[in-house]
A and B are shown apart, each in its own frame.
Chain A
Amino acid sequence: MNWLFLLNYSLHAMVPLTLTAVGEIVTETSGLFNIGLEGILLISAFAGAIGAEAGGPLVGLLVGMGVGGAFGLLFSIINTYWKGTQMVTGIGINLFAVGFVAFGLILLGSPGFHDVPTPAELPNIRTGMGGVSPMIFVALIVPFLIHWFLKRTRAGLMLKAAGEMPEAADVAGINVNLVRVLAAVFGASLAGLGGAYMSVGWLGSVTKDLSAGRGFIALACVVFSGLNPLLALLAGFIFAFFQGLAETLKTMPNKIIPWQFVSMLPYIVTLLVVSGAIGRVRFPKALGEPYKRE
Chain B
Amino acid sequence: MSEPTATKESRLLRGVHKTVTGLHPVFESLLAGAVGLLIGALLMYIWGFNPWRAYIALFKGAFGDSYGWASSIARGTPLILTALTFSICLRAGMFNIGAEGQMMIGAIAAITIALFTLPSGIHTVVGLLIAAAAGAAWSIVPAILKITRGVSEVISTIMFNWIGRFLVIWLGIHVLVDPIRAEKTLTIPKAARFPVIVRGTDLTASVFMAVGVALIIYFVLWHTTVGYEVRAAGLNPTAARYGGIRNKRTMILAFLLGGATAGLAGAALVMGLPPSYAIFSSGMPNLTNMGFDGMAVAMVGRNHPIGILFAALFFGGLNAGGRVMQFYGSNPVPLEMVRVVMGAIVLAMSVPELIRLFPAVKKSVMNIVERIRNRRARAAQEVSE
Residues of A within 8 A of B (CB): 35, 39, 74, 78-79, 82-89, 91-100, 102-103, 106-107, 212-213, 216, 219-220, 223, 258, 260-261, 263-264, 267-268, 270-271, 274-275, 278-279
Interface residues of B, CB < 8 Å — how many?
50
Q: Give B164 Cβ to nearest chain A Cβ, in Å.
A: 9
Distance to closest chain A CB from B318 (angstroms): 11
Q: Which of A86, A95, A213, A263 contacts B343 (CB 8 A)?
A: A95
Given contacts A91-B97, A91-B295, A261-B170, contact A78 B343 (CB under 8 A): no
A92 touches B151 (CB 8 A): no
Whether A99 and B343, one on each chain, are in contact in the complex, defined by CB atoms closer than 8 angstroms, is yes
Chain B residues with Cβ under 8 A from A261's Cβ? 166, 170
Closest to A85 in B: B350
In the docked arrangement, what's the CA distance between A272 and B328, Å?
49
Assembled-state Cα–Cα distance A78/B349 (Å): 10
CA gap between A174 and B170 in the complex, in Å? 54
Please determine whether A220 and B155 come into contact, CB atoms closer than 8 angstroms: yes
Which residue of chain A is the closest to B341 with respect to CB atoms?
Answer: A99
**In the complex, A219→B174 CA distance in Å?**
33
Does B182 touch A at the CB level, under 8 Å? Answer: no
B positions within 8 Å CB-CB of A = 43, 47, 95, 97, 145, 149-152, 154-156, 158-163, 166-167, 169-170, 173-174, 289, 292-293, 295-296, 299, 334, 336-353, 357
Task: Specify the main secondary structure of chain B where it touches its partner.
Answer: helix
Report yes or no: B155 in contact with A98, Cβ–Cβ below 8 A. no
Chain A residues touching B, majority SS: helix
> In the complex, A21→B343 CA distance in Å?
23
Q: How far is the CB of A214 from chain B (nearest CB, A)?
A: 11
Q: Whole-angstrom distance between the alpha carbons of A79 and B351 in the complex? A: 8
B353 to chain A, nearest CB (A): 8
- Residue numbers in B under 8 Å from A99 (CB-CB): 336-343
A125 to B40, CA, bound (A): 42
Contact present for B170 and A260 (CB under 8 Å): yes
Q: How far is the CB of B155 from chain A (nearest CB, A)?
A: 5
With A103-B334, A107-B334 as given contacts, are A92 and B156 in contact (CB-CB < 8 Å)?
Answer: no
A223-B153 Cα distance, complex, nearest whole Å: 12
Total A-B residue contacts, Cβ distance less than 8 Å: 142
Q: Which of B150, B174, B347 contacts A93 (CB 8 A)?
A: B347
Closest A residue to B32 by CB, please name it.
Answer: A92
**A93 partner residues in chain B, CB cutoff 8 A:** 343, 347
Q: List 29 interface pairs A-B (beta carbons < 8 Å), by A numbering.
A: A74-B347, A78-B347, A78-B351, A83-B353, A84-B352, A87-B95, A93-B347, A95-B292, A95-B343, A97-B343, A98-B343, A99-B338, A99-B341, A99-B343, A102-B336, A103-B334, A103-B340, A106-B334, A107-B334, A212-B162, A216-B158, A220-B159, A260-B166, A264-B163, A267-B159, A268-B159, A274-B156, A275-B149, A279-B150
Q: If the complex has contacts A83-B352, A85-B350, A95-B295, are A267 and B343 also in contact, measured as CB distance less than 8 A?
A: no
B340 closest partner in A (C-beta): A99
- Contact indicator A275/B347 (Cβ below 8 Å): no
Residues of B within 8 A of A91 (CB): 97, 295, 299, 346
Give A267 to B155 CA distance when docked, in angstroms: 10
Most buried by A among B152, B159, B338, B352: B159
Cα distance, A213 to B161, chains bound together (Å): 9
Check if B151 sits within 8 Å of A107, measured CB to CB: no
State A87–B90 Cα separation when bound (angstroms): 11
Nearest residue in A to B334 (C-beta to C-beta)? A106
A221: min CB distance to chain B, Å: 10
Q: Are B156's CB and A95's CB within 8 A?
A: no
Chain A residues whose CB sits within 8 angstroms of the CB of B95 once the complex forms:
87
Chain B residues lying within 8 Å of A97, measured Cβ to Cβ, are 343
A219/B352 in contact, CB under 8 A: no
Chain A residues with CB below 8 A from B342, complex form:
95-96, 99
Given contact pairs A103-B334, A278-B149, A96 touches B347 in the complex (Cβ within 8 A): yes
**A279: which B residues are within 8 A, CB to CB?**
149-150
Inside 8 A of A212's CB, which chain B residues have their CB? 162
Q: Identify which of B155, B173, B337 contacts A103 (C-beta below 8 A).
A: B337
Q: Are A213 and B159 in contact (CB under 8 A)?
A: yes
Known pairs A107-B47, A261-B170; A85 contacts B343 (CB<8 A): no
B residues less than 8 Å from A271 (CB atoms): 145, 151, 155-156, 159-160
Instruction: Please determine whether A88 and B349 come into contact, CB atoms closer than 8 angstroms.
Output: yes
**Are B167's CB and A260's CB within 8 A?**
yes
CA distance A258 to B177 in the complex (A): 15
Contact in complex: B296, A95 (CB < 8 Å): yes
Minimum CB–CB distance for A257 against chain B, Å: 10
Q: A267 contacts B347, CB within 8 Å? A: no
* Contact B151 A35, beta carbon cutoff 8 Å: no
Chain B residues with CB under 8 Å of A275's CB are: 145, 149, 151
Q: Is the CB of A213 within 8 A of B158?
A: yes
Least CB distance, B254 to chain A, in whole angstroms: 16
Q: Quick check: A85 and B352 within 8 Å, CB to CB?
A: yes
Q: Are B167 and A264 in contact (CB under 8 A)?
A: yes
Q: A219's contact among B154, B296, B347, by CB below 8 Å, is which?
A: B154
Contacts of B344 on A, CB cut-off 8 Å?
Answer: 92, 96
Contact A219 B155, beta carbon cutoff 8 Å: yes
Chain A residues whose CB sits within 8 angstroms of the CB of B149 once the complex forms: 275, 278-279
Q: How far is the CA of A78 from the CA of B296 in the complex (A)?
A: 18
Closest to A216 in B: B158
On whether the beta carbons of B163 and A267 are closer than 8 Å, the reply is yes
**B343 & A274 in contact (Cβ 8 Å cutoff):** no
When distances are taken between beta carbons in the complex, the residues of chain A under 8 Å from B160 are: 267, 271
Collect the chain A residues with CB atoms within 8 Å of residue B336's CB: 99-100, 102-103, 106
Whole-angstrom distance between the alpha carbons of A267 and B162 in the complex? 7
User: Which A residues touch B352, using CB under 8 A?
Assistant: 82-85
Task: Give, as a whole number of angstroms, the nearest-CB distance from B371 to chain A.
Answer: 19
Asked if A270 and B337 make an inter-chain contact with CB atoms under 8 angstroms apart, the answer reads no
Assess whether B351 is in contact with A96, with CB atoms less than 8 Å apart. no
Q: Which residue of B lies closest to A102 (CB)?
A: B336
Residues of chain A lying within 8 A (CB to CB) of residue B154: 35, 87, 216, 219
